[in-house]
Amino acid sequence: MSLIVDIRKRLGDFTLEAAFEAEKGITGILGPSGCGKSMTLKCIAGVERPDAGHIELDGVTLFDAARKIDFPPQRRQVGYLFQNYALFPNMTVRQNILCGLRRENSREARERRAREIVRLMRLEGLEEHRPAQLSGGQAQRAALARILVSEPKLLMLDEPFSALDGHLRDSLKLELRDLLKSFGREVLLVTHSRDEAYDLCGRIAVMDAGRLLTVKPTKALFADPGSVEAAVLTGCKNIAAARKTGPYEVEVPDWGVRLQTAREVREDLKAIGIRAHYFSPAARQNRMRVRYAEEMEEPFELILQFRTEGQSPDSPPIWWRLPKDKRPQIFPEEIGINPVNILLLY
Amino acid sequence: MTIDWYPLLNSLRIAAISCVLVFFSGIFFAYYAHRLPRTVKGLLDVVLTLPMVLPPTVCGYFLLLLFGAKRPLGIFLAQFGVKFVMTWYGGVLAAAVVAFPLMYRTARGAFESFDETLAYAGQTLGLSNSYIFWRIRMPACRQGILAGTVLAFARALGEYGATSMLIGYTPGRTATISTTVYQLWRTDDEAGALFWVLVNLAISTVVLLAVNLLEDKQRRGAKR
């Protein structure tokens, strides 16, 4: 039971190249806006046609350019939750849900299953409402209800929270997580938010500029993103070009320092990354002399920005993020970083 | 005095039939034009919109070129007893050609502003393409299509230039309200002209009122 995707599509000067496999459970597709995430989902759903490649779901070939197989979207049994939920505005919630039940022949069964899903998705009392009268959360539940009654083999969610207010997001995230667990099949979740990806997805595929870069288990990806793009997308704030100077040593010219690493460095190293949380004045290794530059205040955290003594003037200051109550009385003259926390980026 | 109601009957049937023709052909072309590649679409657009910017007499001239009794197409059609020159149904042709761009352009505008993800959502849910077209796309574009239909009907009802070129004015055979107004005015029957002007005014008012009522009702329905 799995989804296998290997597709290419040209759109003007943009080329989409995505190859990955998704197992049961939630696979996140993480990438900046316009990187081709939604286009990938559309190709899988069959509403866009790739130029070349192959798409297979649970052993059934949905698309194969070489063998001229191209199932219409109606026959792919892929559930697609659009960013704006795409509820039909001229129909009530009930009519929208019945649209997902058109494959069911008996009218009685259709009505029964519509009632069931209305109860399950807590839409009671809203059956005769039009989409325009629903709140963001209700619209999302109605759209999910409409998809779930159609019994898709694969569920794809395109930025499911982007249309919602911030305070709704967290509670809906929990709701959706429980729902997706009970769905028990492959789920693809497209997002540009690393928090959403980290929280909901077991595995994450990183996408940038039309290319799918890596697919890794979530924890492994955050611990070792592997590429500059993946480091940026997983929220790494301090990234600088670097080159190998020893099996466990790198030089960072912009910062004017050499750093010890815990992982062995490969020859093709491009850059290193250090997450803003991991600096410490007390760390004994990789100490560098630093100067306070600037600070930014968030509700519960502080971002202290500093520059190293030998840092080139055109490289941006380094971010150090810490809880407000941990703010040092005097800004330290030296700061260190544990070699384990140096990300090697290729 | 007895009134010859023929112009009213003739105008209404010409407007109604050409409106139906234009409704379907306009939607058909609008739907396929909006998904064509840009260059082809631009070219097709010019051809389909020309009747709107050309003087109606010029449209009439081209229609005579095509369907005239001595033209190949006219001769060909005459074999089947179809004659567009000097017949009332020639008026349908003239009105349809002139009114078509109004329907086509408004419908195309409506289709272009349609949120395509609704169609995608329908497809992934297993709805057939024709269901999506008639039950989702058309209702969503209802405003524009309704507006186009009204414009096309009004234009067909008021058609004069192409009509007078193609079917002329024969009382009791090809006379329409607008050609009658001109004819009566020309022959100094001022009262007769005014009468038909008032008839025309009444029809147009009723049509516009009906449309407004219909829109109101639908708006209330959508809010319920």
**B120, B127, B222 member nearest A47 (Cβ):** B120
Q: How far apart are CA B166 and CA B170, in angstroms?
A: 12
**A73, A89, A132 member nearest B123 (Cβ):** A73
Residues of A in contact with B142 (CB under 8 A): 90
| One-letter identity of residue A175 | E
Note the CATH architecture for domain B6-223. Answer: Orthogonal Bundle (1.10)
Choose from B124, B128, B134, B135 for mutation: most chain A CBs within 10 A: B124
B118 to chain A: closest CA residue: A86
Burial of residue B106, with CB atoms counted within 10 A of its CB: 0-12 exposed, 13-18 middle, 19 or more buried: buried
Task: Confirm if A39 and A13 have CB atoms less than 8 A apart.
Answer: no
Residue A310, min C-alpha distance to chain B (Å): 53
Q: pLDDT tens per residue, chain A (346 residues)?
A: 789 999 999 988 899 999 999 988 899 999 988 899 999 999 999 999 999 999 999 999 999 999 999 999 999 999 999 999 999 999 999 999 999 998 788 889 999 999 999 998 989 999 999 999 999 889 999 999 999 999 999 999 999 988 888 777 888 888 888 888 888 889 999 998 888 999 999 999 999 989 998 899 999 999 999 999 999 999 999 999 999 999 999 999 999 999 999 999 999 999 999 999 999 998 899 999 999 999 999 998 999 999 999 899 899 999 999 998 888 888 899 999 999 999 999 9
Q: How far apart are CA B159 and CA B179, in angstroms?
A: 9
Q: How far apart are CA B169 and CA A16, in angstroms?
A: 64
Domain boundaries, chain A: 3-224, 236-345
B129 to chain A: closest CA residue: A74
Confidence of residue B224 (pLDDT cuts 50, 70, 90): very low
Q: How far apart are CA B52 and CA B150, in angstroms?
A: 15
Strand pairing class (A60-64; A52-57): antiparallel
Whole-model pTM: value is: 0.83
Structure tokens at A341: 């926390």
Task: Confirm if A267 and A345 have CB atoms less than 8 A apart.
Answer: no
Count CA atoms within 13 Å of residue A315 on its CB side: 19
Q: Show the 3-state SS of chain A.
A: CCEEEEEEEEECCEEEEEEEEECCEEEEEECCCCCCHHHHHHHHHCCCCCCEEEEEECCEEEEECCCCEECCHHHCCEEEECCCCCCCCCCCHHHHHHHCCCCCCCHHHHHHHHHHHHHHCCCCCCCCCCHHHCCHHHHHHHHHHHHHHCCCCEEEEECCCCCCCHHHHHHHHHHHHHHHHHHCCEEEEEECCHHHHHHHCCEEEEEECCEEEEEEEHHHHHHCCCCHHHHHHCCCCEEEECEEEECCEEEECCCCEEEECCCCCCCCCCEEEECHHHEECCCCCCCEEEEEEEEEECCCEEEEEEEECCCCCCCCCEEEEEEHHHCCCCCCCEEEECHHHEEEEC
What CATH number has the domain spanning A3-224? 3.40.50.300
> What integer pLDDT is reported at residue B218 of this predicted model?
66
Structure tokens at A212: 């799918």
Structure tokens at A180: 């997706």
